[in-house]
Amino acid sequence: MICLAWPGTAWAAEHALIMWINQYADPRIRIVGLERDAVLARSMARALGVPGANIIERSNAQLTHTGLKDALASLRARVRPGDGVFVYFSGHGRQMQRISGGTGCSEGLATFEGGIYFDLLLRDELDVLAEQASRVLMFNDSCFSGGTATKSFDIAVPLEGQPKTYPDASAPTPQLDAKGLPGAATNDIPSDSQGCGVPVNPVSKAFGGWVQSANRHSVLYLGGAAANEAAYPTPQGSVATRAWAACLQNPAADIDHNGMLNGAELITCAQSWVHQNTRYRQTITGVGNEHMPLRRF
**Is the pLDDT confidence value at 139 over 70?**
yes
Q: What is the pLDDT of residue 161?
A: 62
Residue-wise pLDDT for 27-54, tens only, equals 888 899 999 999 999 999 999 999 999 9
Provide φ and ψ at 165, rounded to 5°. Answer: -135, 135
CATH class name, domain 14-296:
alpha beta
From its phi and psi, is residue 103 left (phi > 0), alpha (psi between -120 and 50) or beta? alpha
**Is the pLDDT confidence value at 186 over 90?**
no
Q: What is the pTM of this model?
A: 0.83
Residue-wise pLDDT for 63-119, tens only, equals 999 999 999 999 999 999 999 999 999 999 887 766 555 556 677 889 999 888 888
Q: What is the pLDDT of residue 246?
A: 98
Among 189-193, 225-229, 271-275, whose mean pLDDT is lowest? 189-193
Q: What is the pLDDT of residue 200?
A: 52
CA quadruple 133, 205, 23, 42: dihedral sign? negative
Q: What is the pLDDT of residue 286?
A: 87
One-letter identity of residue 134: S
Q: What is the pLDDT of residue 124?
A: 86
**Is the pLDDT confidence value at 55 over 60?**
yes
The two most distant CA atoms of the chain are separated, in Å, by 55
126-145 as b/e: b if 16+ CB within 10 A: bbbbbebbbbbbbbbbbbbb
Mean pLDDT of the chain: 79
Provide φ and ψ at 281, rounded to 5°. Answer: -95, 95
Q: What is the pLDDT of residue 204?
A: 45
Q: Report d(CA 280, CA 284) in Å as an integer.
A: 12
Residue-wise pLDDT for 200-248, tens only, equals 554 445 555 554 455 557 889 898 887 667 889 999 999 999 999 999 9
